[in-house]
């Protein structure tokens, strides 16, 4: 057993470093098929390593801080990638921020939430969570999405689904304020709303299965988590030309590329959330999913607003009619899911069908 743990520690420590080295060697280059296969293999290893180190950090700091660490870390690196692609992307970058943020919202609020509710309810009978904390997170996500992705479709200061400079500044500042208020609520004033619950509805304040790792171990894992996430996002960008070529060869809509990249970037959170659901820590899963959606909007919109100062060309944020319908339906269904504080496989299935509808409409708009 000890030998197995040591082997796991060596593997999860080496892969993040290997991913960053491979990223440096392949950045900005056209990759042949063999190298793409190698990058994909290392990318998968980096995802698993990121999940391992995120769980080590989460075990040390406890909930809800643990889920916040992974959500914010992934989003910060994702935002840096979006801004980089916008600088280099030309005309295709005008809708990049909108498409990426909306993809993150649909993946987290329907894909991850639906999968976690389904896994937990099939394994434990019902999925139990705190409706007060989850409801607060959902309300914040819905408000951020409306301010940033819905209103630009209906404003008239500029032609097209765009904000004027003043409107974009307001949306950026509002996003930061709301995200900051939520983090303060989650970690300070009402932390108990975001703790996983027992079957009797009592908050679980610590993990019952193992002692918390030392501070030194947690710090090392935090550093390796950062390396793993840099590797995940950077290598995902590296294989994106191959993905794009495959999508075009298959005759699919270009938006499918963004969906695939978003799925790759959010893999660490997905795996971590499903693992928590299997352990009957559904609140932790929902913290990860909704926290990731919130961080994606709350950090991306201010970042692209700042980047728009020196970027040329329009910044399209407003959703089209099809995506508006999906977003409204997601908010309504999520509200009905959250209110009881318990979910059955039906609720998980409904969210997964919504996610499947999003994927279908991305392929056949």
Instruction: State the SS3 of 169-220.
Output: HHHHHHHHHHHHHHHHHHHHHCHHHHCCECCCCCECCCCCCCCCCCHHHHHH
Task: Please name the residues in contact with 290: beta carbons below 8 A apart, sequence gap of 6 or more.
Answer: 108, 109, 113, 134, 137, 138, 141
Residues of the chain scoring pLDDT < 50: 1-5, 7-8, 208-209
In the prediction, which pLDDT does 91 show?
62
Nearest residue to 291 (alpha-carbon basis) of 67, 122, 36: 67
Q: Are strands 127-128 and 342-343 parallel, antiparallel or unpaired?
A: antiparallel
Give the per-residue pLDDT at 148: 92
**From the CA atom positions of the chain, what is the Rg in Å?**
20
Query: In the prediction, which pLDDT does 137 show?
Result: 93
307-316 pLDDT, tens digit each:
877 777 778 8
Provide φ and ψ at 140, rounded to 5°. -70, -45
**Is the Cα dihedral 35, 37, 42, 43 positive or negative?**
positive
Domain ranges of the chain: 2-363
CATH class of 2-363: mainly alpha
Gap between the Cα atoms of 77 and 91, Å rounded:
23
User: Residue 173's pLDDT is what?
Assistant: 93
CA 120 to chain centre: 20
- In this predicted structure, what is the pLDDT of residue 89? 58
Q: What is the pLDDT of residue 220?
A: 86
Q: Report residue 172: phi and psi, to 5°.
A: -65, -45
What is the model's pLDDT at position 324?
A: 95
Going through 289-353 in order, the beta strands assigned E by DSSP cover 342-343
- Tell me, what's the pLDDT at 200? 62
pTM: 0.81
At residue 242, the pLDDT reads 75
Residue whose token pair is 């743990």: 5
Residue 286 neighbours by CB under 8 Å, 6+ apart: 113, 116, 129, 134, 137
* CB-CB neighbours of 174 under 10 Å: 17
Place of tokens 């904390």: 133
Query: Which backbone phi and psi does 205 adopt, to 5 degrees?
Result: -90, -15
Residue 4, pLDDT score: 45
pLDDT of residue 199: 66
Rounded Cα–Cα distance for residues 340 and 130 (Å)? 9
């Amino acid at each position: 057993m000890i030998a197995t743990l040591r082997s796991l520690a060596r593997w999860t420590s080496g892969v993040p470093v290997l991913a960053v080295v491979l990223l440096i060697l392949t950045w900005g280059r056209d990759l042949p098929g063999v190298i793409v296969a190698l990058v994909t293999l290392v990318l998968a290893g980096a995802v698993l390593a990121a999940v391992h180190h995120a769980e080590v950090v989460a075990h040390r700091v406890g909930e809800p801080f643990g889920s916040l660490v992974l959500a914010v870390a992934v989003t910060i690196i994702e935002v840096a990638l979006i801004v980089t692609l916008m600088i280099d992307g030309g005309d295709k970058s005008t809708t990049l921020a909108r498409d990426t943020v909306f993809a993150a919202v649909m993946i987290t609020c329907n894909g991850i939430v639906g999968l976690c509710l389904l896994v937990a309810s099939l394994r434990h009978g019902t999925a139990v969570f705190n409706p007060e904390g989850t409801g607060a997170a959902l309300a914040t996500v819905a408000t951020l999405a409306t301010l940033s992705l819905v209103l630009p479709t209906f404003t008239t200061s500029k032609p097209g689904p765009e904000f004027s400079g003043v409107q974009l500044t307001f949306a950026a500042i509002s996003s930061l304020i709301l995200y900051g208020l939520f983090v303060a609520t989650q970690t300070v004033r009402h932390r108990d709303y975001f703790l996983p619950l027992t079957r009797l509805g009592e908050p679980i304040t610590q993990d019952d299965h193992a002692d918390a790792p030392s501070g030194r171990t947690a710090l090392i894992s935090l550093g390796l988590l950062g390396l793993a996430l840099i590797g995940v996002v950077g290598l995902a960008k590296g294989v994106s030309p191959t993905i794009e070529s495959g999508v075009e060869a298959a005759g699919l809509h270009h938006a499918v590329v963004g969906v695939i990249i978003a799925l790759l970037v959010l893999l660490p959170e997905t795996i971590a959330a499903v693992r928590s659901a299997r352990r009957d820590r559904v609140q932790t899963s929902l913290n990860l999913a909704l926290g990731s959606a919130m961080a994606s909007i709350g950090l991306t919109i201010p970042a692209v607003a700042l980047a728009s100062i020196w970027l040329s060309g329009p910044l399209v944020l407003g959703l089209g009619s099809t995506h508006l319908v999906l977003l409204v339906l997601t908010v309504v269904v999520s509200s009905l899911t959250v209110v009881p504080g318990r979910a059955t496989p039906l609720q998980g299935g409904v969210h997964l069908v919504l996610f499947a509808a999003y994927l279908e409409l991305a392929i056949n708009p």
